[in-house]
Amino acid sequence: MWDVAAGPFLAAAGLLVVAGVPKVADPMPLVRALRAAGLPANRLVVRGFAAAEVLVGGWAVLAPGRIGAALVATAYLVFTAFVVRVLTRGGILGSCGCFGKPDTPATRTHAALTGLAALTGVAVALEPPQGAWSAVDAATVTTVALALLVGFLAWQVMAVLPTVSPAAIRGTTKG
């Protein structure tokens, strides 16, 4: 399973780190998003959750295994549930601050990607790698390159694409 899931799993774990760091630095976008979704939130809880997100993502990248993968899956299941809740409530105008962008609202594509990331975590948790980083060979380099590409493309879809949609563009033009 690791041969198939390594790239997407590492991308998902890496995105936890990339998305968690801005929330540790500035938890208020997520606090506002949670409150707008009808959920209780405060800075301390959000910072703690974001720090855990960074730790889980880093651990899963550096030492992929059953527990780390299960935690990655759990994180993405929570994110998917939140995005679906937001979408069923009519959406939120602002973002959760996951990528440091103040105006990247949740989309159905975002929900689909977080759902797929959760499934990838489940797959790796059910069949974890044995000695994933025991050797640095061509396959390892290719896997890391694939993970970087998948992570970058997922970030583009979740953080950049919503800002270039016709609705987003209309919202920024004057006139």
* Per-residue pLDDT reduced to its tens digit, 94-106: 666 666 655 567 7
Task: Give the pLDDT confidence score for residue 145 in this predicted structure.
Answer: 75
Q: Give the N- to C-terminal CA distance of the chain in Å, as an integer.
A: 54
* Per-residue pLDDT reduced to its tens digit, 40-90: 899 999 999 999 999 999 999 989 999 999 999 999 999 999 889 888 887
Instruction: Give long-range contacts, CB 8 A cutoff, 24+ apart: 45-50.
Output: 47/23, 49/23, 50/20, 50/21, 50/23, 50/24
What's the total number of domains in the chain?
Answer: 1
* pTM of the entire predicted model: 0.78
Average model confidence (pLDDT) across the chain: 82
- Which structural domain range is residue 162 located in? 2-172
